[in-house]
Amino acid sequence: MTKQQKHILLFLVLAILIYSIWQIFFNLEKQQSNKPFTKGYSVENLELKITDESGKLVGKFTSPGLIRYTDSELILISKPKMWTYDDAKQHWQIFSEKAEYNNKTNEINFTEELKASSILGDKKSSFTANSLLVKLDNSTAYTNNGIVFNQTPFTMSGEIAKLDMKKEILEVNDNVKAIYKSSSKQ
């Protein structure tokens, strides 16, 4: 064996040794794969229709995907869309980027870029909020993260709000601002 062949063989042995040490101590993929995994399940392209005791449609819910981990009471929902119905007519529609459903408290917390509107009746109402907690048992919603409510010609904004979605009563507390624009021409 020539001196050059010995150097090449020594280089290969050192390269294999260095690679082995790196795999054992510094490989990030291996470190991440050793983290504990929480069992769960996911659902894609979900459409859920909710009826009352008589079979009348009272709500509809769609989402491109949701995830539930078995060690948590929360269901993580992406791009949720929710509609409520009153006498089989679409009443409220609520859209958001993210939401969390708590099956223990039967609440949905819409957490990003919430937009909602009421399309029932002659007075159209809409509001936007950074987040909104909807209690499904009594059709009430709460936010302490800012809300802007519109019902032409009236606009109201505030920090803390409670909305009764059935009675269409909005209570805004803290930092309230209201604007009324008359539609009459002068």
- pLDDT tens for each residue of 25-61: 776 665 555 555 567 888 889 998 888 888 888 888 8
Residue 75 CB-density burial (10 A; 0-12 exposed, 13-18 middle, 19+ buried): buried
d(CA 29, CA 10): 29
d(CA 156, CA 181): 12
Q: 40-180 in CATH: which number?
A: 2.60.450.10
Q: What band does 151 get if pLDDT is binned at 50, 70 and 90?
A: confident
Residue 88 CB-density burial (10 A; 0-12 exposed, 13-18 middle, 19+ buried): exposed
CA dihedral of 169, 172, 178, 182, whole degrees rounded to 10: 0
User: Percentage of the chain surpassing pLDDT 90?
Assistant: 12
Q: What is the predicted pLDDT for the residue at 96?
A: 93
Q: Is pLDDT of 16 > 60?
A: yes
Smallest Cα–Cα separation from 51: which of 85, 100, 92, 81? 85
The full set of domain ranges for the chain reads 3-33, 40-180
